[in-house]
Structure 1
Amino acid sequence: MESDKTPQQIGKGMWLAAWLILMGILFVYFEDLIQEKYDPNHALSSDDSGEVILKRNRQGHYVAPGLINGKPVVFLLDTGATTISVPKKVADNIGLIGGYKQQVGTANGMIEVFQTRLDSVSLGGITLNDIQGHINPHMDSNTVLLGMSFMRNLEIIQKGNTLTLRR
């Protein structure tokens, strides 16, 4: 059985396949580069040293993966926040229940949140138990603000683009 394809058509198909493979490799390479700039701590390891070293992202923030009650979340460290502020949709996903309503002051004014207690909060190798937080129905992102109710228990050292947290 003879092929209906001419050598020119086969050549064009080979070029197309080569370009698609090249584009795929470039996509993976640049996706990793972009993730490294915006989330340099995405591969934060958990060890028992009681120390976590974070790199600042391109916007100047410290963002890192962590756990609330054993469920994965993304934290944005916020020394200006009194407590851990969990967006409502994240709270719903990890099974948090809101308690009393409370008024809190934010950069955008006063808002109403719901108090909650977090059984455990983990960042890298640091885990603290029974931490105060609140559920914030006004936050649109999936990022949890890791406030001072967690960080006040730690030594915080900032040098250059690095933040070190120690128990």
Structure 2
Amino acid sequence: MSETDHSKKMGKTMMWIAWGLFFALMIWFFQGALDKQHNPNQRPQLNLTQDGKNEVTLKRNRYGHYLSPGNINGSEVLFLLDTGATNVSIPANVAQDLNLPVLGTHYVQTANGSVKVQRTEIEQLSIGNIILYNVAANINPGMDTAEILLGMSALKQLEFKQSGQYLTLTEQY
């Protein structure tokens, strides 16, 4: 192989590497933008009201949902607020990772029909600076997502106010 042929081959290889790096950077950049569109509340706005109550303000995502990072018994989770759910609903694989106790089984009505779930109780649930204790929850084997539906067993303990694309959650005493 001549020196010219070797230089051309090396040049083509470098060009492919440059294009590969360019595409990798573009994917990394756009994935971050997509993640922010899916969950614009990766760091929710925390406030303290004039009367000393903790408050969290969430922005609606591009699909019209409110997502928020939070904690269950000290472990990080992702909540999807769902006022149509009676209880907090946890996918079975997430509940197993959280080591939640099973306190019995029962059937619930979901948008997909009747589902047999396991009853559990969350000792401590937090969203931002709001902490709730002893929250009723269901372990749902039919959920195939990592998002936990934050139902009314938690939300009824909060005041919530929607204004435009923002939802403000305030703790009650």
Q: TM-score range, shorter-chain basis?
A: 0.7 to 0.9
Aligned equivalents of 1:16, 1:111: Cα separation in 2: 52
2:42 maps to 1:38: no
Alignment of 1:16-165 (within 5 A): 16-41=16-41, 43-45=42-44, 49=48, 50-165=54-169
In structure 2, distance between residues paired with 1:13 and 1:105: 58
User: Among the aligned pairs, what percent are the same residue?
Assistant: 40
Alpha carbons of 1:59 and 1:39: their partners in 2 closer, same or farther (altered >3 Å)?
Answer: same
Which whole-Å deviations, capped at 9, do the CAs of 1:82-140 have from their partners, x for residues lacking one? 11111111111110111122222222222222221111001112111111111112222
Q: Deviations over 1:60-86 (max 9, x none)?
A: 111222111111211110001111111
> Pairwise CA RMSD of aligned residues?
2.1
1:98–1:134 Cα contact (<8 Å) kept: no
Q: What is the number of equivalent residue pairs in this alignment? A: 164
Instruction: Tell me how far apart the structure 2 counterparts of residues 129 and 85 of structure 1 sit (CA, whole Å).
Output: 16
Counterpart amino acid of residue 63 in structure 2? Q
Q: What is the rounded CA distance, in whole Å, between the counterparts of 1:47 and 1:130 in structure 2? A: 23
CA contact (8 A) 2:47 2:56 kept: no
TM-score for the superposition, normalised by structure 1: 0.87
Task: Judge conservation of contact 1:48–1:126 (CA < 8 Å) in 2.
Answer: no
Which consecutive unaligned segments of at least 5 residues does structure 1 have?
none
Task: Point out where structure 2 has 5 or more consecutive residues left out of the alignment.
Answer: 49-53
**Tell me, what secondary structure is at the counterpart of 2:138?**
strand
